[in-house]
């Protein structure tokens, strides 16, 4: 937000391209079969919603990995998108005094211990994990690898301007058996990037942080992104990508069809009809 005429200018923050209505009061839910069906279908369509998003912003804290919905959406997004489409916001909380909490949250992560308020949601998500990843172990490995990689990108981009660095995350990757990832993280050199950026700023009047970020992004693209791609192929069941590509094409076609009833927040019947149409997409590729 920025100051404007003595006050705060209104901030606009786009959370998601497709948002599920997350709360229905008990009285309304009990009396409205449409709302219950709408919620159920929307949860089943979470993969389609994630595919249609252009990016994902994560306010990442050490408690993030304790919530089953959060970790499922994280992994789901990275299955269908590249890691550079995900932005991590952890600067305000990641300090030397909190670093161990972040590390421990990755070290002890498990689907079984993750929290989910609604038992029905847990059942649905666990079934999705089994369907798409084969087993919880595959999902947990992909989640851990991707978190370490993307947190590593965040720390490397800091350009060695504070005392928290990559060393403990490299050790964690080694401890968890992710040798390729640990080796890739070791190739990051934030101190050298910062010095090179300082030299560039003096000669070209470039922005310091932009120069550091450019070098960090190049390192990540060359050494870390291929590891995440390999882990994605390892974790996700072979038929998933082809199946979901078919469904994605169906959804995009449906959204562009003038006869498609787009879900709205004001007309429950229209909203329900819309998600019913999306849910009728082919489940598997032919």
Q: How far apart are CA 268 and CA 264, in angstroms?
A: 7
47: number of Cβ within 10 Å:
22
Higher pLDDT, 125 or 15: 125
pLDDT at residue 268, rounded to an integer: 44
User: What was the pLDDT predicted at 45?
Assistant: 77
Is 50 exceeded by the pLDDT of residue 256?
yes
pLDDT at residue 271 tops 60: no
* DSSP per position, 20-49: ------HHHHHH-HHHHHHHHHHHHTHHHH
pLDDT score at 182: 97
Helix (H, G, I), strand (E, B) or coil at 112: coil
Confidence of residue 220 (pLDDT cuts 50, 70, 90): very high
Residues 148-171: what's their mean pLDDT? 81
Q: What is the pLDDT of residue 201?
A: 81
Closest CA to 99 of 59, 132, 61: 61
Question: Which three-class secondary structure string do you get for 177-225?
Answer: CCHHHHHHHHCCCHHHHHHHHHHHHHHHCCCHHHHHHHHHHHHHHHHHH
Residues of the chain with pLDDT > 90, as a percent, come to 41
Higher confidence at residue 204 or residue 225? Answer: 225
Task: Return the beta strands (E) in the chain as ranges.
Answer: 3-4, 7-8, 56-59, 86-89
Query: Rounded CA gap, 188 and 99, in Å?
Result: 19
SS3 67: strand
Give 5's Cβ-side CA count (13 Å radius).
2
In terms of pLDDT, which residue wins out, 96 or 224?
224
- The answer to whether 137 and 107 are in contact (CB under 8 A) is no
Encode pLDDT of 37-76 as tens digits.
666 777 777 887 788 788 899 999 999 999 999 999 999 9
Q: What is the DSSP letter of 232?
A: H
pLDDT in tens, 77-130: 999 889 999 998 887 888 889 999 999 999 999 999 999 998 989 999 999 999
């Amino acid at each position: 937000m920025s100051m404007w005429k003595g006050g705060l200018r209104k901030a606009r923050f786009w959370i998601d391209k497709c948002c599920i209505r997350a709360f229905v009061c008990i009285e309304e839910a009990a009396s409205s079969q449409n709302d219950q069906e709408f919620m159920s279908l929307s949860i089943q369509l979470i993969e389609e919603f994630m595919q249609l998003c252009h990016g994902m912003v994560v306010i990442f804290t050490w408690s993030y990995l304790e919530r089953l919905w959060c970790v499922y959406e994280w992994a789901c997004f990275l299955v269908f998108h590249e890691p550079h489409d995900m932005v991590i916001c952890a600067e305000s909380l990641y300090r030397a005094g909190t670093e161990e909490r972040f590390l421990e949250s990755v070290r002890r992560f498990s689907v079984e211990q993750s929290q989910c308020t609604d038992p029905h949601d847990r059942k649905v998500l666990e079934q999705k994990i089994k369907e798409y990843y084969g087993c919880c172990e595959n999902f947990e490995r992909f989640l851990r690898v991707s978190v370490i990689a993307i947190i590593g990108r965040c720390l490397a981009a800091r350009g060695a301007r504070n005392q928290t660095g990559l060393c403990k995350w490299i050790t964690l990757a080694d401890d968890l058996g992710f040798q390729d990832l640990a080796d890739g993280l070791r190739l990051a050199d934030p101190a050298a990037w910062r010095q090179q950026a300082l030299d560039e700023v003096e000669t070209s009047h470039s922005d310091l942080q932009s120069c550091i970020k450019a070098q960090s992004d190049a390192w990540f693209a060359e050494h870390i992104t291929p590891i995440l791609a390999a882990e994605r192929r390892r974790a996700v069941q072979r038929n998933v990508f082809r199946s979901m590509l078919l469904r994605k094409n169906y959804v995009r076609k449906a959204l562009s069809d003038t006869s498609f009833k787009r879900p709205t927040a004001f007309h429950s019947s229209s909203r329900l009809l819309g998600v019913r149409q999306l849910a009728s997409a082919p489940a598997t590729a032919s």
